[in-house]
Amino acid sequence: MKKILIIEDDKIVCENTCEILELANYIVKTANNGKKGVLLANEFKPDLILCDILMPELDGFGVLQIISKTPELESVPFIFLTAKTHYEDLRRGMDLGADDYLTKPIEESELLRAIDSRLKRVEVFEQKISSKTSLIPKNRLSLETASDFKIFLKDKELFTFKKGDTIFYNGNISEYIFVIKKGLVKTYKSNDFGKELITGLYTDNQIFGFVSFTLHIPYQENAKTLSATTLYKINKKEIYNLLKNKSQVIYSFIDVLAQNLLKANEKQLSLAYASVRKKTADTLLQLLEKYPKEFTHEILFKRADLASLIGIAKETLIRTLHDFKQEKLININQTGIEVIDEQRLLKIQ
């Protein structure tokens, strides 16, 4: 039987909710304020928590923050019971990691449906993890014991995308992060007029799509392949289990995130202060470094994409590339741009 904790200071609401759940064959315990609720949660180890927002001692937001930082409880589904329906309150709760909201007075069918839905999601996920790890030979490291990210990836399904395929859209709920085995992917944003701004380029062994490791919030950009690409999709729960108590892997992820942040800051400085020639030269060299090895010294990139990546108008890019060609720094052909003189490109100011 599943265990449910109700944290609610309204005695009537608490008793009615408790009675409904007990009739539905749940084991139920209650607390009449946030502090008692946190203490009871640690002792009771519930499968799901129902919690009011406005309470004495410690409000529902405070309870959720504490629960989400407690290793034994952080994955327990958390549903708010509230009379507050303002968007700001809903947004704050979801940002903190709440799984759902139920507005008081609560319909019996709605309550049971919400609880059943959340508990089933947990069961399905646990079954998937169990089935995957049970198929791993005993001489292989499982997800729970892996200390090397590469070992973990060997047991993951590999997805194949053709050039021009979309991996995710701005607004899709963020459920995965992606690791490229081979290929090239761009992330970008579009304004109301359809103009693109490329926010990142990713190639072999690089990670993208990490809006958040814990919150199911929308992606803030689009992702599309620029060449035939194979990659791994990793569920956030798997990432959490992999990182949990695995310091070596945690440090690797911190390095990846720090490098991406550093590159983003460098790009912002370049956009703000560098000359058009300097920005174009730097971008060509960065693309040359990122492109799959079989395209040695040739960049197969649309002019519009390249202009968007640099942050200049397409016409300005065309003029700059023409100058580079005249200076014998690059060669332009029908398929792309061939870099002839890397050293001189590096020296452009």
Backbone φ and ψ for 183, nearest 5 degrees, come out as 135, -165
**% of the chain with per-residue pLDDT over 70:** 69
pLDDT at position 204, please?
78
Q: 208 vs 166, 176, 201, 222, 228, CA distance in Å?
A: 14, 9, 9, 11, 17
pLDDT at position 175, please?
80
pLDDT at position 3, please?
95
**Spatial distance between the Cα atoms of 125 and 182, rounded to a whole number of angstroms:** 28
Contact between 257 and 239 (Cβ < 8 Å) = no
The candidate with the shortest Cα–Cα distance to 210, out of 180, 184, 256, 177, is 177
Domains along the chain with CATH numbers: 3-126 (3.40.50.2300), 149-260 (2.60.120.10), 274-346 (1.10.10.10)
pLDDT at position 122, please?
75
Looking only at the bridges linking them, the beta strands covering 100-103 and 78-82 are parallel
Mean pLDDT, range 122-142, rounded to an integer: 48
**Spatial distance between the Cα atoms of 77 and 47, rounded to a whole number of angstroms:** 7
Helix (H, G, I), strand (E, B) or coil at 220: coil
pLDDT at position 127, please?
62
pLDDT at position 144, please?
36
Dump pLDDT digits (tens) for 179-210: 888 888 888 887 666 667 777 778 877 888 87
User: Among 121-130, 207-216, 264-273, 296-305, which range has the highest average pLDDT?
Assistant: 207-216
Q: How many CB atoms lie within 10 A of CB 132?
A: 15
Alpha helices in the chain (DSSP H): 11-23, 34-44, 60-68, 87-96, 108-134, 149-153, 236-243, 247-273, 276-290, 303-310, 314-326, 342-346
Contact between 177 and 209 (Cβ < 8 Å) = yes
Q: Which of 112-116, 187-191, 219-223, 303-307 has the lowest mean pLDDT?
A: 303-307
Q: Which of 111-120, 282-291, 333-342 has the lowest mean pLDDT?
A: 282-291
**Spatial distance between the Cα atoms of 114 and 98, rounded to a whole number of angstroms:** 13
**% of the chain with per-residue pLDDT over 90:** 20
> In which region does residue 297 sit, left (phi positive, over 0), alpha (psi from -120 to 50) or beta (all else)?
left
pLDDT at position 252, please?
57
Whose tokens are 């490329």? That residue is: 198
Contact between 60 and 97 (Cβ < 8 Å) = no
What is the average pLDDT value for the chain, to the nearest integer?
A: 76
pLDDT, greater one: 224 or 214: 224
- Using pLDDT thresholds of 50, 70 and 90, give the confidence band for residue 129: very low
pTM of the entire predicted model: 0.41
